[in-house]
Structure formats: C-alpha cells, structure tokens
Homo-oligomer: A and B are copies of this chain.
Amino acid sequence: MNGVHDLGGMQGLGGVDVEGNEPVFHNPWEKAIFGTMLATMGQGMYNLDEFRHGIEVMSPAHYLTSSYYEHWLETIEKNLIEKGIIDRDELDARTQEFLKDPAAPVPQREDPELAESLSRLVRSGASTRREVSAKPQFEVGDRVRTRNVHPRGHTRLPQYVRDKQGVVERVYDAFVLPDANAHGEGENPQYVYSVRFEAEEVWGDSAEPREVVYVDLWESYLEPL
C-alpha cells in the first residue's frame, strides 16, 4: 500500500526531535497499550503483519497527527473488533465511562499462566522463520531489480526502492511473507535477502556521496537482472 507510513525519502518533515533522558514509557497508557499488545498478539488474536497493516490503513492525516502508541491503540482495537473479540459499541461506551471518571481503576485480574507465557515470549521471541524445501533463487553477488508493484494491501517493499537495481549482499532464511500473512492468505514463506543499493541508483543526483542503502526484501519482490 502506497501509504504515508512508507516514509523513506519524503522531504519537508523537519528536524529530528531528540528527547534527553527519555523514559521507556511517558505515561501509564503507553505502558498499558504496550502490555495489551503483548497479551493479545502474544495469544495469537492477530499476527504482527495484521498489526502493522492496521496502522497503515489509518488515514494519512490521522497517522501524521497522532502519537506512536495511538497508532498501536488504533490497530489493536481494529484487529480485536474485526476478529469479533471486542465490540465497537461496547468499547466506545466503556471509553465514555473512563472519560467521565478518569480516575476509575481498571479491574485487576491475576493470570499466572499468561504472565509466564508472556515472560517466555519476551525472552524467547516468536520467530517467523520457516523451513522451505526450495533453494533460494538468488545468491550473494547476484544483480537484481526490485519489482514495480503498488499492491493495495500490506507489503514490505518500500516505494523508494521499487523498480531499482541492486546487488544481493546476504541471503537469509525463509520467513513468513507479510503480503499474504496480513490478509489471512497464509504464511507463504519465502527467502529474504539483504539487497545493496547504491545511493545514486535510488536518489540520482540528489544522492549523498559514498552512501549505500541495504534493504531486506522477500524473494517475490525481486527479479533477476
């Protein structure tokens, strides 16, 4: 999806705003949203690609005017509602209650089993690497061209490196394909490659000297040159 989230090379956004001594969470709701993501995605209510795509489909104006954890809240809500786990009206009604009484506590519930499994998730992760029987189509050093595609759904092929020539720098294992997995089309694992692009190829005369960009791309994003 050619969305505003696909930011590589956009100009006019201004300076980088570095916050000194930045806390991990700036307030209680950032931590609550982060934890809610862990507990819901961690229990398989939606997958990481669905999570990311839920942010991408926010309206561009909304995306650019909202905070990072608001993006997360948007996509968690959207995914849980789509899966039928949460009801939109129920959520809105409860939100109104908390708006009227901001000090009202969240009901507490202990779940030692979930605590244990989330702790394991944090420590061990949830790899999307998959075994495939096929051999990788490309080898280190192969010249490739990225495809000129503009899918309406989720993809991890950034616009700034579409229809560009590069060289395979590293061959990784096969991983779940986000383009399929974000839309309930299965995992469709494919090999991933680190592809090296010369800045001149990507940015033309506007390139900085002595710069290369490496982008990690799934096999179907690439064509042999």
- Residue A27 CB within 8 A of the other chain: no
Contact A204 B64 (CB under 8 A): no
Decide yes or no: A163 and B204 within 8 Å by CB, A61-B61, A64-B64 being known contacts. yes
Contact A4 B10 (CB under 8 A): yes
Decide yes or no: A12 and B204 within 8 Å by CB, A4-B4, A64-B64, A163-B163 being known contacts. no
- Residue A108 CB within 8 A of the other chain: no
Residues of B within 8 A of A209 (CB): none
Interface size on A (CB < 8 Å)? Answer: 28
Chain A, range 33-83, C-beta contacts under 8 Å to B: 56-57, 59-61, 64-65
A1-18 vs B: 1/0 string, CB under 8 Å?
Answer: 111100001111110000
Residues of B within 8 A of A25 (CB): none
Would you mind naming 27 contact pairs between A and B with Cβ atoms under 8 Å apart? A1-B11, A2-B9, A2-B10, A2-B11, A2-B12, A3-B10, A3-B11, A4-B4, A10-B60, A11-B150, A12-B57, A12-B59, A13-B59, A14-B59, A60-B60, A61-B61, A61-B64, A61-B65, A64-B64, A65-B65, A148-B203, A148-B204, A149-B205, A149-B206, A150-B206, A151-B206, A163-B163
9 smallest beta-carbon distances between A and B, as pairs: A148-B204, A61-B64, A150-B206, A2-B11, A3-B12, A61-B65, A1-B11, A149-B204, A2-B10
Q: A14-B59, A148-B204 are in contact. List 18 more A-B contacts (CB 8 A).
A: A1-B11, A2-B9, A2-B11, A2-B12, A3-B10, A4-B4, A4-B12, A9-B150, A10-B60, A11-B150, A12-B56, A12-B57, A13-B59, A13-B60, A60-B60, A61-B65, A147-B204, A149-B204
